[in-house]
């Protein structure tokens, strides 16, 4: 875009109409509009006596979050003379360094001088209003609005409030896809006319980004019974093909119809993009704007003076701005079919910004990241499927019980095979990105293995009988202990043993009912866990100790028997 290469305005003057509304007068330097660095950021600094751009949505680059300056917004929109008027919000959005703020300043000229046929200004007057400059770095951040809300009489006699909104440019080097989507969605949700500022043509990626951003906005809006957004105006800057489609609205209409046409031989993806855009906006338009001229593009000292701008550009600009802002063309903001007042818009801004500050909405991603995630997830799914099929053949539903050590060995073999398959698949995203998904695969395989271990243990008849055996052992031990302590006169201990015996008996009967009926499975699981804890902590160590003592005694007896046999054998030899 040629005007994005122009230098920031050098002069301090801004245009205001004289009482007759037909001529410009330049204010003194102390009344000039401030630079962006001087923009007020608190309620105390918002001076409505000097119209200027006010930042209402602040962009925090460190955590890529956005904050609403409620005090500034309320001071502008809750003024007594406008707060109950229906509002018209005209917003300009698009990629950074494409001349959005430059265009808005011509809109300001029209609003201040709309009754004058020469509203566009004098040939030597610098362009002021929303801050803009030339160069390749972004200027606007977050969302700004003009501090003066214009009250306009419509042809039907009603008064409306007109608000102009400037937005942070998309796709700069400091903004994530989520940042771009949030700003575009917020401006689209709160505006009645969204000007989609594009350079030279409507490319397929422009439509895809529009689809992503509008869907991100639609997700945040609840109870959508109709098209969620109102007017979208495609503004094609630096249009170079007037011999195909003439400059202006009519040429833009024909061009847009061709671009958004859904054809039967189109790929489904292309059809879905176009259907989505038609389903989101009540009204679609397009305006073709010519190049402003080489002086604008190459002069580092360009400050917006009309004598540096080509006549074709000025001619079409005189048609474009009234098309958006003339009283008979104003589009009042509506949400869910109801017109919105200035007071209402404040509440909608508060509600929408809270949604985007939260975690309820999915984070939009770049096409590369989304494709790389899908690619890696598909590779993870394939590797998991390979592992599961191998394990099913070893210990599946109809396979007999397998020793835990053998199952562990098979698990390791199939796990390594699955990881090898995952690594062998060609994936996008780079080594570091893919490593996260390999770790995810290994964790999920270990979870699957734990389920196979439980399934295999269920086939072991001794494992299945562990709970009743444990409960029976507890009942038997308590019965013997109760009898002995009762015989010895230790009645309190005997009573406690009888209590434990009764609880074990009730647990045994309950467990048997659960296994028979399939009801109260949570109770059965709890009994199994208690029985397993008793087995692991008490009975198994006791049995291991008894087995160890028995084995030790058996070894001693064997050694003694061997030694005795040898002694007897030697004694017989001597006797002989």
Tokens 């902590």 map to which residue?
537
Are the C-beta atoms of residues 255 and 293 closer than 8 Å to each other? no
Residue whose C-alpha is closest to residue 17's, from 102, 115, 162: 115
pTM of full prediction above 0.75: no
| Residue 116 per-residue DSSP state | S
What is the helix (H) or strand (E) element at residue 17, kind and residue range?
A: strand 15-17
What is the helix (H) or strand (E) element at residue 463, kind and residue range?
A: helix 461-464
DSSP character string of 512-546: HHHHHH---HHHHHHHHHHHHHHIIIIIHHHHHHH
Cα(144)–Cα(547) distance, integer angstroms: 82
| Residue 460 per-residue DSSP state | -
Cα(96)–Cα(128) distance, integer angstroms: 19
| Residue 125 per-residue DSSP state | P
The pair of structure tokens assigned to 338 is 């109801």
**Burial class, 62, CB count within 10 angstroms (exposed 0-12 / middle 13-18 / buried 19+):** exposed
Question: Torsions phi, psi of 19, nearest 5?
Answer: -55, -30
Cα(152)–Cα(82) distance, integer angstroms: 11
pLDDT in tens, the chain (576 residues): 444 444 333 333 333 333 333 333 333 333 333 344 344 444 445 566 688 888 888 877 666 677 888 899 999 999 999 989 999 999 988 766 666 778 888 899 999 988 888 888 888 888 887 765 544 444 556 788 898 999 999 999 899 999 998 887 554 455 667 777 778 888 888 889 999 888 888 888 778 878 877 776 676 665 555 778 889 999 998 898 999 999 999 999 999 999 888 888 888 888 888 888 888 888 999 999 998 888 777 777 777 788 888 889 989 999 999 999 999 999 999 887 788 899 888 888 888 888 777 665 555 554 456 567 777 888 898 899 999 999 988 888 778 888 888 889 999 999 999 999 998 888 777 788 888 899 999 999 999 999 988 888 777 666 667 778 888 888 888 888 888 888 888 888 888 888 888 888 888 888 788 877 778 878 878 887 888 788 777 776 776 676 666 666 776 677 777 777 777 777 777 676
What is the helix (H) or strand (E) element at residue 237, kind and residue range?
A: strand 229-237
pLDDT for the residue 463:
63
Q: What is the separation, in whole angstroms, between the first and last Cα of the chain?
A: 123
Tokens 């890696």 map to which residue?
376
pLDDT for the residue 454:
84
Identify the bridge partners of residue 93 per DSSP, sorted by sequence position: 196
Q: 329-365: buried (b, 16+ CB within 10 Å) or exposed (e) per residue? A: ebbbbebeeeebbbebbbeebeebbebbeeeebeebb
Cα(275)–Cα(260) distance, integer angstroms: 8
Cα(424)–Cα(171) distance, integer angstroms: 34
Residue whose C-alpha is closest to residue 356's, from 112, 67, 40: 67
Question: Torsions phi, psi of 273, nearest 5?
Answer: -60, -45
Are the C-beta atoms of residues 372 and 259 closer than 8 Å to each other? no
pLDDT for the residue 271:
86
Are the C-beta atoms of residues 54 and 38 closer than 8 Å to each other? no
Cα(432)–Cα(392) distance, integer angstroms: 32
Cα(187)–Cα(408) distance, integer angstroms: 58
Residue 374 CB contacts under 8 Å (≥ 6 apart), including other chains: none
Identify the bridge partners of residue 15 per DSSP, sorted by sequence position: 26
Cα(307)–Cα(127) distance, integer angstroms: 12
pLDDT for the residue 8:
35
Residue whose C-alpha is closest to residue 324's, from 253, 251, 231: 231
Cα(379)–Cα(388) distance, integer angstroms: 14
Are the C-beta atoms of residues 388 and 437 closer than 8 Å to each other? no
Residue 345 CB contacts under 8 Å (≥ 6 apart), including other chains: 77, 87, 89, 190, 333
DSSP character string of 343-406: HHHHHHHHHHHHHHHSSSSPPP--HHHHHHHHHHHHHHHHHHHHHHHHHHHHH-TTSPP--HHH
Cα(139)–Cα(131) distance, integer angstroms: 8
What is the helix (H) or strand (E) element at residue 205, kind and residue range?
A: helix 204-220
Cα(465)–Cα(455) distance, integer angstroms: 15
The pair of structure tokens assigned to 185 is 């969605």
pLDDT for the residue 370:
59
Neighbouring CB atoms inside 10 A of 174's CB total 13
């Amino acid at each position: 875009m040629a005007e994005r290469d122009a230098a920031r305005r050098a002069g301090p003057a801004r245009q205001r109409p004289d009482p007759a509304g037909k001529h410009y007068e330049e204010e003194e330097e102390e009344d000039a509009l401030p630079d962006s660095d001087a923009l007020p950021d608190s309620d105390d600094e918002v001076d409505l006596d000097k119209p200027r751009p006010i930042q209402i949505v602040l962009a925090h680059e460190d955590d890529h979050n956005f904050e609403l300056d409620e005090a500034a917004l309320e001071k502008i929109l809750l003024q007594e003379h406008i707060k109950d008027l229906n509002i018209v919000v005209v917003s300009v959005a698009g990629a950074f360094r494409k001349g959005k703020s430059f265009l808005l300043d011509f809109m300001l000229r029209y609003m201040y001088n709309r009754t004058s046929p020469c509203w566009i200004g004098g040939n030597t007057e610098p362009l002021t209003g929303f801050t803009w400059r030339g160069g390749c770095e972004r200027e606007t951040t977050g969302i700004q609005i003009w501090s003066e809300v214009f009250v306009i009489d419509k042809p039907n006699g009603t008064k409306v409030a007109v608000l102009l909104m400037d937005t942070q440019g998309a796709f700069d080097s400091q903004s994530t896809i989520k940042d771009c989507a949030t700003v575009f969605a917020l401006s689209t949700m709160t505006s009645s006319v969204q000007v989609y500022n594009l350079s030279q043509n409507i490319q397929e990626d422009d439509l895809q980004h529009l689809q992503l951003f509008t869907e991100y906005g639609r997700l945040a809006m609840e109870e959508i019974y109709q098209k969620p957004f109102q007017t979208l105006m495609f503004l094609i800057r630096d249009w170079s093909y007037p011999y195909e489609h003439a400059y202006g609205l009519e040429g833009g209409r024909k061009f847009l119809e061709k671009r958004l046409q859904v054809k039967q031989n189109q790929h489904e993806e292309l059809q879905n993009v176009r259907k989505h855009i038609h389903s989101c906006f009540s009204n679609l338009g397009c305006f073709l704007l010519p190049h402003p001229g080489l002086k604008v593009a190459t002069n580092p000292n360009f400050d917006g003076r009309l004598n540096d701008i080509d006549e074709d550009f000025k001619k079409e600009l005189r048609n474009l701005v009234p098309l958006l802002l003339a009283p008979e063309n104003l589009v009042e903001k509506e949400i869910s079919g109801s017109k919105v007042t200035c007071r209402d818009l404040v509440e909608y801004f508060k509600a929408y910004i809270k949604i985007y500050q939260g975690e309820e909405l999915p984070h939009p991603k770049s096409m590369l990241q989304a494709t790389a995630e899908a690619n890696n997830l598909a590779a993870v799914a394939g590797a998991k499927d390979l592992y599961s099929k191998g394990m099913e053949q070893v210990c599946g539903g109809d396979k007999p019980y397998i020793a835990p050590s053998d199952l562990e060995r098979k698990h390791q073999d199939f796990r390594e095979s699955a990881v090898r398959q995952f690594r062998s698949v060609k994936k996008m995203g780079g080594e570091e990105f893919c490593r996260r998904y390999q770790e995810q695969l290994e964790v999920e395989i270990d979870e699957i293995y734990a389920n196979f271990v439980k399934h295999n243990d269920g086939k072991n008849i001794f494992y299945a009988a562990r709970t009743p055996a444990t409960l029976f052992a507890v009942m038997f031990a308590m019965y013997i202990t109760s009898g002995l302590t009762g015989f010895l006169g230790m009645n309190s201990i005997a009573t406690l043993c009888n209590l434990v015996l009764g609880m074990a008996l009730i647990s045994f009967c309950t467990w048997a009912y659960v296994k028979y009926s399939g009801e109260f499975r949570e109770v059965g699981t709890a009994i199994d866990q208690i029985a397993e804890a008793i087995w692991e902590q008490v009975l198994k160590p006791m049995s291991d100790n008894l087995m160890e003592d028995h084995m030790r005694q058996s070894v001693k007896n064997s050694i003694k028997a061997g030694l005795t046999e040898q002694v007897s054998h030697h004694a017989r030899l001597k006797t002989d």
